[in-house]
Structure formats: structure tokens, C-alpha cells
């Protein structure tokens, strides 16, 4: 994500949280630039971009005022909550899986990767996402806990939500998704519980980044 886009998102989130009300003037550019850790040129570019969308308005001699409050995307917020839950719950679940993983379990999980790779090459994104969600569901069964199964069922995003994030991506970002997915399997192969947890967190953080860039 570029610095300008990051500042745009921060300004929008501040508006959604009620930091500034309709027609209220924003702080001086120097103050905001310092707050966001960017130079004034980057901040000004972000303000101009939001002004083009009708959210902000720059008035000569009066600074920048709020022209309209952007509408929050309920679907994106729902996905965000799911991903945040995944970042909290799934890494330790996968760590527990690593500690109980047997060769037969690992072999069953490995069979999902050719399907995911083939789907990536053919741009079959529904199958690409489905194979990944199936991976976590199957892996959780290794723990043998109904509570773990229930927690995973609640926090995992549905395939359509993740598909919404992946479909607009170019090949490089799709391959990055697959690489993070493969990182989890690689950690499981080496029976490295801590690395499994780290790789799982990196996987869901990747989707969170895609959401931020959407």
C-alpha cells in the first residue's frame, strides 16, 4: 500500500469514527502530516484524492473541511471482524495441530495443495479459496476437539468474502497468497510448532492487507 493510500484510509477511518463532523475543519496540514508520519506533499495528495471523491473540500484561506461522511462497508467490516478473530484464534489452533500431526494427517493435507496450485494456474479463484478453507477445517480435526472445531467454524471467513478480496488481485498477489499458504504446510512438515503459528498469522495478515487495499 502506498503512503498516500494509507493516509487516505486513515482519514476515512477517522471520519467513520466521528473524529471530525460534517463541515468541520481538519487540523493544519503540518499537524496531520506529523501525526501520520508522512511529508506534507503526501498528505496533500491524499486530501486531493478524497476531495475528488467529494469527501473533503479544500477552501482557499480556510483549510480543508469535511464535505461528506463516507459510508462504511458493512461487508468489509464483517470480513475484518472474521480476519481479526482468525489472527487471534487460528495460529494457536494450528500450533496445536503441529504437535499432534501424524504422517497420515500430513499426507491428507498435502493433497489439497495440487488442487490449489491448479486452480491458481487456471484462475479458478473459487476453487483456489475453497481448497485453503478446507485445509484449515481438515487440520483442526487433528486436534480432536469439538470446541476447536466450533471456534474455527465461527471465525473462518466464508469463501465468497475471501474471493471478493482475491479476484481483483494480479498474479503476483495471488502467488503471494499461495506462498503464505504453502508456508504453513512447510512448517507442519518440519513439525515446527512455533513456525506453524507464525506462518498462519502471516497468512491471515496477508488477507487483512488485501482488505486494507481494497
Which residue matches cell numbers 502471516?
202
Helix (H, G, I), strand (E, B) or coil at 66: strand
pLDDT in the model for residue 17: 77
The reply to whether the predicted model has a pTM over 0.85 is: no
Q: In the chain, which stretches have pLDDT less than 70? A: 1, 70-77, 214
Q: 181 with 196: CB under 8 angstroms?
A: no
* Rounded Cα gap, residues 50 and 44, in angstroms: 10
Q: At what angle do helices 29-36 and 3-16 cross, to 10 degrees?
A: 110
What's the total number of domains in the chain?
Answer: 2
Tell me how far apart the 2 most distant CA atoms of the chain are, in Å: 71
pLDDT in the model for residue 73: 53
Inter-CA distances, 170 with 127, 132, 175, 196, Å? 17, 18, 9, 27
| Final residue before a domain boundary, out of 40, 66, 92 | 66
Comparing CA positions, the residue from 70, 73, 93, 74 lying closest to residue 156 is 93
Is the domain of 80 the same as that of 54? no
Is the domain of 23 the same as that of 40? yes
| Final residue before a domain boundary, out of 14, 43, 66 | 66
Q: What are phi and psi of 34, to 5 degrees?
A: -65, -40
Contacts of 104 (CB under 8 A, 6+ apart): none
Is the domain of 56 the same as that of 80? no
Grid coordinates given for 108: 491428507
Is the domain of 103 the same as that of 173? yes
CATH number at residue 18: 1.10.10.10
pLDDT in the model for residue 74: 44
Is the domain of 98 the same as that of 156? yes
Is the domain of 126 the same as that of 80? yes
Amino acid at each position: 500500500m502506498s503512503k498516500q493510500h494509507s493516509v487516505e484510509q486513515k482519514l476515512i477511518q477517522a471520519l467513520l469514527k466521528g473524529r471530525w463532523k460534517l463541515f468541520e475543519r481538519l487540523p493544519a496540514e503540518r499537524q496531520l502530516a506529523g501525526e501520520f508520519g508522512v511529508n506534507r506533499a503526501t498528505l496533500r495528495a491524499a486530501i486531493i484524492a478524497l476531495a475528488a471523491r467529494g469527501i473533503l473540500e479544500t477552501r482557499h484561506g480556510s483549510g480543508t473541511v469535511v464535505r461528506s461522511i463516507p459510508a462504511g462497508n458493512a461487508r468489509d467490516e464483517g470480513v475484518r471482524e472474521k480476519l481479526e478473530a482468525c489472527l487471534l484464534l487460528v495460529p494457536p489452533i494450528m500450533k496445536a495441530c503441529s504437535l499432534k500431526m501424524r504422517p497420515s494427517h500430513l499426507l491428507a493435507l498435502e493433497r489439497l495443495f495440487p488442487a490449489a496450485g491448479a486452480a491458481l494456474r487456471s484462475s479458478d479463484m473459487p476453487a483456489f479459496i475453497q481448497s485453503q478453507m478446507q485445509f484449515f477445517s481438515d487440520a483442526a480435526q487433528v486436534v480432536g476437539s469439538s470446541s476447536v472445531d466450533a471456534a474455527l467454524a465461527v471465525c473462518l471467513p466464508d469463501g465468497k468474502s475471501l474471493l471478493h478480496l482475491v479476484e481483483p488481485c494480479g498474479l503476483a498477489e495471488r502467488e503471494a497468497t499461495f506462498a503464505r499458504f504453502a508456508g504453513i504446510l512447510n512448517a507442519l512438515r518440519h513439525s515446527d510448532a512455533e513456525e506453524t503459528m507464525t506462518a498462519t498469522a502471516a497468512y491471515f495478515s496477508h488477507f487483512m492487507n488485501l482488505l486494507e487495499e481494497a
